[in-house]
Amino acid sequence: GNSVTQMEGPVTLSEEAFLTINCTYTATGYPSLFWYVQYPGEGLQLLLKATKADDKGSNKGFEATYRKETTSFHLEKGSVQVSDSAVYFCALSEGDYKLSFGAGTTVTVRA
């Protein structure tokens, strides 16, 4: 079956640092890949997505590239802010529109 593995947290960074959260997946076909973000006290929000190999999703300074050869979708941001503190979930969807989530990575950015 489908599964998503993302790096364990928590991750603590200083403002303006570079952030990378690794995500790899297992799927039988060609899934769509997502990053969702959950800010404290709020619901999940779609951060970005990519639907096919080599696609790059981007939003709010975050980027992730769909790498079929390495089955990865790593999330990156060049300069984080305190407001980026949240839990980040990698997820995939294949065929039946069901989402399979990774365990989530808690990111804390300190001023």
Partner 1 sequence: GAVVSQHPSRVICKSGTSVKIECRSLDFQATTMFWYRQFPKQSLMLMATSNEGSKATYEQGVEKDKFLINHASLTLSTLTVTSAHPEDSSFYICSARWPSGSDTQYFGPGTRLTVL
The pattern of x and - marking residues 6 through 35 that bind partner 1 according to CB under 8 A reads: --------------------------x-x-
- Cβ proximity to partner 1: between 26 and 79 the closer is 26
3 state DSSP class of 57: strand
Per the structure block, which two tokens stand in for 11? 């991750």
Residue 84: φ, ψ to 5°: -85, -5
Residue 104 lies near partner 1 (rule: CB under 8 A): yes
The pattern of x and - marking residues 40 through 79 that bind partner 1 according to CB under 8 A reads: --xxxxx--x-x----------------------------
Rounded Cα distance between 9 and 59, Å, is 22
Q: How far is the CB of 91 from partner 1 (least distance, A)?
A: 9
Of 21-29, 55-63, 64-72, 91-99, the window that binds partner 1 (rule: CB under 8 A) is 91-99
3-state helix, strand, coil in the chain (%, to 5): 5, 55, 45
Residue 97: φ, ψ to 5°: 70, 5
Q: How far is the CB of 88 from partner 1 (least distance, A)?
A: 11
